[in-house]
Amino acid sequence: MSEQPTEDQRGGRRRSGRVSVRRRTGHAATERAHRTEDEALLARQPRPDFLDGDPWRSLRILAEFVEGFDALAAVGPAVTVFGSARIGPDHPQYEEARNLGRRLAEMGYAVITGGGPGIMEAANRGCHEAGGLSVGCNIELPQEQGLNPYVDLGIEFRYFFARKMMFVKYADAFVIFPGGFGTLDELFEALTLIQTGKIQDFPVILIGTEYWSGLLDWLRGTLLEEAAIKAEDVDLLRLTDDPDEACRIIDAYVTERRDQAERTAASTRTIERGEVEHPARGEQAES
């Protein structure tokens, strides 16, 4: 509740919170005390300059992270699917992505995409039709891109880096269909994070042998020969034409991680108080 200005009877002063003035001088410093906080809050003003500054922008960025984390925290096992936004439902890859989304849903995975058309729509559609959780992380673009109609849980982002955080944080695997600059950006973002140890090594699966073979040849024939990457960096990628094989790779990896966690839990027990050895005192250590 805002504190309203009152008249201080002892000095004839106008008081607002910790500030008091004796008379109105016309100066901005004293006029402010004659205005209630509610009056200041409700007054309409031109757009302040600070709304376009970096400090205020940082708050909007923080809000995107908070809303994204809050919305996706309970998604559970999930696979992020990337690919071109420019293909239609009559394209063979659309049906492949739709089948992938359906298979993943049947296996108990949510499907996360960029929420737009093309491959994204197809993967969301397959997941939605199979009763899985279909998630779309949409991005504000100069050419408006709306959420496709098969998204069950949609989140709107202004900033690419906040959106990409959600793709990585809540995914157990990436599946990459043929696509353009945006798809390549998301592919190499994942590879860089894995290569540098920023995230755990999880499957990055390329769908489309003919489409991706040239890129893999370049990685092996140019980057590897120039020692810009290591051989194991190329091995981070899996290549297939079969969405079912992609699902088997994902499930084998997730199952292995689950089994490893269970083995670790089974071999771990609580340390009892009597098993803790107290460090020797100085005189005992010397004897």
Sort 210 into a burial class: Cβ within 10 Å, 0-12 / 13-18 / 19+. exposed
Of the pLDDT bands very low, low, confident and very high (cuts 50, 70, 90), residue 255 is confident
- Tell me if 240 sits within 8 A of 207, measured CB to CB: yes
Give the pLDDT band (50/70/90) at residue 44: confident
Fold of 57-257: Rossmann fold (3.40.50)
Does residue 70 contact residue 162 with C-beta atoms inside 8 Å?
no
Question: How do residues 92-127 score in pLDDT, each as one tens digit?
Answer: 999 999 999 999 999 999 999 999 999 999 999 999
pLDDT digits (tens, 9 = 90+) for 218-248: 999 999 999 999 999 998 999 999 999 999 9
Classify 19 in phi/psi space as left (phi over 0), alpha (psi -120 to 50) or beta.
beta
Residue found by looking up tokens 């079912």 in the block = 244
How sure is the predictor about 25, in pLDDT bands with cuts at 50, 70 and 90?
low
Least confident of 100-109, 153-162, 255-264: 255-264
Q: Return the residue matching tokens 């960096």.
A: 233
How much of the chain, in percent, has pLDDT values that exceed 90?
59
The alpha-carbon radius of gyration of the chain (Å, integer) is 29
The residue-averaged pLDDT of 275-281 equals: 61
* Strand, helix or coil for residue 25: coil
The predicted structure's pLDDT at residue 6: 53
Gap between the Cα atoms of 284 and 287, Å rounded:
5
Other residues' Cβ atoms within 10 Å of the Cβ of residue 4: 12
Classify residue 153 as left (phi > 0), alpha (psi -120 to 50) or beta.
beta
The mean-pLDDT minimum among 4-8, 151-155, 248-252 falls in 4-8
**What tokens does 223 get?**
């980057």
pLDDT surpassing 60 at residue 287 = no
- Are the C-beta atoms of residues 108 and 84 closer than 8 Å to each other? no
So where are the chain's domains? 57-257
Q: Residue 168 carries which side chain, given as an amino acid letter?
A: V
Long-range CB contacts for residues 128-132, cutoff 8 Å, separation at least 24: 128/101, 128/152, 129/98, 129/102, 130/101, 130/102, 130/103, 130/105, 130/106, 131/105, 132/101, 132/104, 132/105, 132/106, 132/108
Asked which of 17-31, 53-67, 168-182 is least confident by mean pLDDT, the reply is 17-31
Residues 164-210 have pLDDT tens digits of 999 999 999 999 999 999 999 999 999 999 999 888 778 999 999 99
Q: What is the pLDDT of residue 163?
A: 93
**For the residues 12-31, what does the mean pLDDT come to?**
65
Indicate the pairing of strand 13-16 with strand 6-8. antiparallel
106's CB contacts (< 8 A; 6+ apart) are 130, 132
Give the total residue count for the chain.
287
Is the per-residue pLDDT at 9 higher than 50? no
DSSP, collapsed to helix, strand or coil, labels residue 21 as strand
